[in-house]
Amino acid sequence: MVQHCRQKTLANPVKCSGIGVHSGRNVNLTIKPAPVNHGIKFERVDLPDRPRINALFNMVVDTSLATVIGNQGAIVSTIEHLMASFSGLSIDNALVELDAYEMPIMDGSAFQFTRMLLEGGMVEQESPKSYFIVKKPIILEENEKSVKLYPSDIPKLTCTIEYNHPLIKTQTCSIELNADTFEKEICSARTFGFVQDIEMMKRYGLGRGGSLDNAVVIDTQTVLNDGGLRFPDEFVRHKLLDCIGDFSLLGMPILGHIVAFKSGHAFNHAFLKEFFARKDAWETLSSKDCQALNA
């Protein structure tokens, strides 16, 4: 069922500042309304000519630690949490201006981005929204990882993770993707890391902005953050959040059921390539046909 028939953008510009989790650099961010069919674009206002980069899968240049997009030498890193907020709130068109190469990590989740966008307000635009309608399953499997996409009348996402750690083990989370579910159940789930991995990253000059203020950090037995976890299964909820952000780089929402197993940024990106290679398995539908689809 198509929930939104028209494209949406922000009613008012919104701003925030923060630190990049890997760079440790301060960054100022402004998100502005954009016209119909603009999509989501990032603009590096700190560089000559203020280059813009489309938030699309074919602009992805790195997925090793985060999702990074780039064009003509300019990059924007760690976009997945903000992209999840756009997708979760069904915002189609926006211009994101920033004055550094890495997005601010905020509290390690998408909560502050989501709250900021809600405070800015949203408006429907005159043009119809378009969707990918899944007609046949698309499956990508490799080394125990998989992403599977099935036909569905509603947008759904199921994510499973497995870690050999007593606090995580196997966790699964499945949601119907809509603004209410995203805001209440997903957007506040924080990124997480292991003490030993964080120490190694810092030795290699990464994770310079990481702290207990912007990540769940665990050792062999305990969560080190004051207050513990926000959800008993916060780990898988955050991975589901990352999936929402990564899959939004298709450029249009999917009317289908995505089932991700032990996937991460790199494998999610590989699936997006597979998706576009399987043009027999989906079709695009303008929400001009909303009434017929929802009948």
Q: Which residues are catalytic?
A: 265
Q: Are the C-beta atoms of 130 and 284 separated by less than 8 Å?
A: yes
Report the distance separating Cα 106 and Cα 128, nearest Å. 33
Angstrom CA distances, 61 to 64, 72, 233, 265, stand at 10, 11, 31, 12
At residue 186, φ and ψ (nearest 5 deg) are -120, -45
Number of Cβ within 10 Å of residue 204's Cβ equals 7
Q: Are the C-beta atoms of 138 and 281 separated by less than 8 Å?
A: yes
Task: Work out the angle at residue 187's Cα, subtended by the Cα atoms of residues 75 and 3, and round it to the nearest 5 degrees.
Answer: 95
Report the distance separating Cα 107 and Cα 202, nearest Å. 19
| Beta strands 282-286 and 170-176, pairing class | unpaired
Report the distance separating Cα 98 and Cα 31, nearest Å. 9
Q: Are the C-beta atoms of 157 and 258 separated by less than 8 Å?
A: yes
